[in-house]
Structure 1
Amino acid sequence: MNVVLWIIAGLLAAAFLAAGVMKMLQPKEKLIASGMGWAADFGDGQVKLIGLVEALGAIGLILPALLDVAPVLVPLAATGLAITMIGAIVVHVRRKENQAVLPSLVLLLLSAVVAWGRFGPWSF
């Protein structure tokens, strides 16, 4: 199960890092035009902050365990990303963006699995 948790954490880190960097570097208007309609409900700074949270969460999923420095940060990062995805699901449901709920739900569940595994039976 330890290997499975590493694989899930790696995939989550790649997804959240890519999404976070994109939100930090792209102008809000370009994000909206590319299908992220939810960004219209947020200010530029808020979209950049969401991107920063996702990027830092991605780093927190891998780096602490890899360097063996404060590995308790791994399940905390996973928990933070799960909470972020709960917020994303709420926004998508309110905006009736039903097609965006499923990917957010999958990321939520995978983040919750990593948090459970690393807080619980397969902690570092």
Structure 2
Amino acid sequence: MNSTLWIVRVVLAVVFLASGTAMLTLSRARMIARLGAWIEAVPIGAVRLLGALEVLAAIGLVVPPLVGIAPMLAAAAASGVFLVMVGAIVLHAREREYLQVVMNLALAAMAVFATWGQLAS
């Protein structure tokens, strides 16, 4: 179970680090091309804030359990990822981006597993 939990944490961290970094560094036009049309429906300040939160979540998923300091922060980060995915599911469903809805459901399920795994250990 520990190996599976680490794999899920790392996959989530990589996805959220990449997405968050893109939201923090790319222009709106490049974000739309890379992340999708939903960027047009959200104010740029909110997109940048979401990017910062995603980068922090990526760090929180891996660093605390890796160094053994406050490992329960990983459960908090995974819970935050779940909440972000719920919002993403709603946003993508509204935009009729159903492939993204499926991907967000998968990421939300992984976040639930990561939260449960951290709390159970």
Report the TM range for the smaller structure's normalisation: over 0.9
Q: Give the letter for the 1:73 counterpart.
A: L
Paired position in structure 1 for 2:83: 83
Which 5+ residue runs of structure 2 have no aligned equivalent? Answer: none
Distance 1:21 1:92 in 2: 20
Q: CA deviation at 1:43?
A: 1.1
Q: CA deviation at 1:100?
A: 1.1
Paired residues, what number?
A: 121
Paired position in structure 2 for 1:25: 25
- Structure-1-length-normalised TM-score: 0.93
Paired position in structure 1 for 2:48: 48
**Going by fraction, where is helix more abundant, 1 or 2?**
2
Structure 2 CA distance for partners of 1:72 and 1:35, relative to 1, 3 Å: closer
Secondary structure of the corresponding residue to residue 96 of structure 1: coil
Paired position in structure 2 for 1:111: 111
Alpha-carbon deviations, 1:10-46, whole Å to 9, x = none? 1111111011101110011221133510010111111
Structure 2 CA distance for partners of 1:48 and 1:35, relative to 1, 3 Å: closer
Q: Percent same amino acid among aligned pairs? A: 37
Paired position in structure 2 for 1:93: 93
Q: CA deviation at 1:97?
A: 1.2
Aligned CA-pair RMSD:
1.0
Q: CA deviation at 1:66?
A: 1.0
Contact 1:89 1:104 in 2 (8 A): yes
